[in-house]
Chain A
Amino acid sequence: GAVVSQHPSRVICKSGTSVKIECRSLDFQATTMFWYRQFPKQSLMLMATSNEGSKATYEQGVEKDKFLINHASLTLSTLTVTSAHPEDSSFYICSARGHSSTDTQYFGPGTRLTVL
Chain B
Amino acid sequence: EDQVTQSPEALRLQEGESSSLNCSYTVSGLRGLFWYRQDPGKGPEFLFTLYSAGEEKEKERLKATLTKKESFLHITAPKPEDSATYLCAVQRYAGNNRKLIWGLGTSLAVNP
Q: Give bound CA distance, A109 to B31, whole Å.
A: 26
Provide the residues of chain B in CB contact with A95, threshold 8 Å. Answer: 43-44
Given the known inter-chain contacts A42-B104, A43-B87, please indicate yes or no for A104 contacting B98, CB distance below 8 A. no
Sorting the interface of chain B by its residue count into under 10, 10 to 19, 20 to 34 or 35 or more gives 20 to 34
Provide the residues of chain A in CB contact with B97, threshold 8 Å. Answer: 32, 49, 51, 57
Q: Give bound CA distance, A105 to B91, whole Å.
A: 11
Provide the residues of chain B in CB contact with A46, threshold 8 Å. Answer: 99-100
Considering the complex, give the chain A residue whose CB is closest to the CB of B42: A109
Which B35-64 residues have C-beta < 8 A from chain A? 36, 41-46, 49
Would B46 and A104 count as touching, CB distance under 8 A?
yes
Considering the complex, give the chain A residue whose CB is closest to the CB of B31: A103
B25 contacts chain A at the CB level, 8 A cutoff: no
A106 contacts chain B at the CB level, 8 A cutoff: yes
Q: Mark B77-99, 1 if CB is under 8 A from A, else 0.
A: 00000000001000100000111
Q: Give bound CA distance, A91 to B99, whole Å.
A: 20
Would B49 and A104 count as touching, CB distance under 8 A?
yes
Given the known inter-chain contacts A34-B99, A43-B103, A103-B91, please indicate yes or no for A108 contacting B31, CB distance below 8 A. no
Of B43, B49, B103, the residue contacting A93 (CB under 8 A) is: B43
Count how many chain A residues have C-beta atoms less than 8 Å from C-beta atoms of the other chain. 25
- The count of A-to-B residue pairs whose CB atoms sit within 8 angstroms is 51
Given the known inter-chain contacts A108-B43, A110-B41, please indicate yes or no for A103 contacting B98, CB distance below 8 A. yes
Least CB distance, A58 to chain B, in whole angstroms: 12
A112 contacts chain B at the CB level, 8 A cutoff: yes
A115 contacts chain B at the CB level, 8 A cutoff: no
Which B12-34 residues have C-beta < 8 A from chain A? 31-32, 34
Least CB distance, B83 to chain A, in whole angstroms: 15
Least CB distance, A94 to chain B, in whole angstroms: 8
Write the residues of chain A forming the contact surface with B, with a CB cutoff of 8 angstroms.
Answer: 2, 4, 6, 32, 34, 42-44, 46, 49, 51, 57, 91, 93, 95, 102-110, 112
Give 11 pairs: A residue, B residue, CB < 8 Å, sorted on A. Answer: A4-B43, A43-B103, A43-B104, A43-B105, A44-B102, A57-B97, A104-B46, A107-B46, A108-B43, A109-B43, A110-B42
